Chains A and B, each alone.
Chain A
């Protein structure tokens, strides 16, 4: 699972903003803003990863339990899929 080419994640005034570039501007109207964990997952998903790897990455970086990590990843992946950002 990987985020499509054509999306840029950048910090703007302390917020993490996602914007489409090039042809993707026609498919994605507007912008998304992410919290710190969201930005972390987004960056990981710019390479091909599995949900299990994302959960592991969260566990390695944040002090949370496995259950919370799985739930957060599932929620985030759903959101990103819903927005049509997955290849």
Chain B
């Protein structure tokens, strides 16, 4: 165990994070702040698990490594901090095309990464994945932005940048391709099922619900049924494109 503390900037939030396991440290590397300003520590949020916790927790479960525990718990800590900055995590694969980010959300195994991979194939160098699993969604200066973060699922696909939010899409598998607009009310349970919901503190829950309300009222939300063809990409892109 090599416990070490570094300074990061994720989703425009200053972080001082202490890690003991290799994976979290490695994945956060892109977000390191090389020369923190004099005020950095004063404005920074702290993520620090108790020493030995990852190892102790992992020993309770078969097949779970300290790495897994640390990665999960630091992620949960970050996305709880995000609430204080008017931001939410959405479990989704986020693809950026021509500067706008489109979030495809669904339960694990449904095919959200498969769908955004099809976008990459179709749009080539006009597109990239900003976060393949847990993008941060945050409102600053009156606009909603999507951010890459070190927590992006098993494939570790993320870019340390932000892009303006284009649309949120809840994806399901279907034999043909269709897309329809959702009302904010319809989207509440869908969104709630794909964000950090089991929060301990009342003020966090309260913040989460306020931000959720704003996200759903201020952005277009869709339901997409799709297969894995190019037609699936065209169906969704033509309906949700911003430019």
When distances are taken between beta carbons in the complex, the residues of chain B under 8 Å from A31 are: 188-189, 192, 197
Interface residues on A, range: 10 to 19
Query: Which parts of A1-35 form the interface with B (CB within 8 Å)?
Result: 8, 10-15, 17, 19, 21-22, 25, 30-31, 33
A25 to B197, CA, bound (A): 9
Is residue B184 within 8 Å, beta carbon to beta carbon, of the partner chain? yes
Tell me if B205 and A13 are in contact (CB < 8 A): no
Tell me if B188 and A13 are in contact (CB < 8 A): yes
Partner of A21, one of B185, B189, B202, B217: B202
When distances are taken between beta carbons in the complex, the residues of chain A under 8 Å from B34 are: none
Is residue B140 within 8 Å, beta carbon to beta carbon, of the partner chain? no
Query: Which parts of B31-48 form the interface with A (CB within 8 Å)?
Result: none
Query: Which parts of B184-226 form the interface with A (CB within 8 Å)?
Result: 184-185, 187-189, 192, 197-202, 205-206, 209-210, 212-213, 216-217
Tell me if B205 and A19 are in contact (CB < 8 A): yes
Partner of B209, one of A10, A14, A22, A25: A10
Partner of A17, one of B198, B199, B209: B209
When distances are taken between beta carbons in the complex, the residues of chain A under 8 Å from B216 are: 12-13
B40 to chain A, nearest CB (A): 33
Using a CB–CB cutoff of 8 Å, the interface residues on chain A facing chain B are: 8, 10-15, 17, 19, 21-22, 25, 30-31, 33
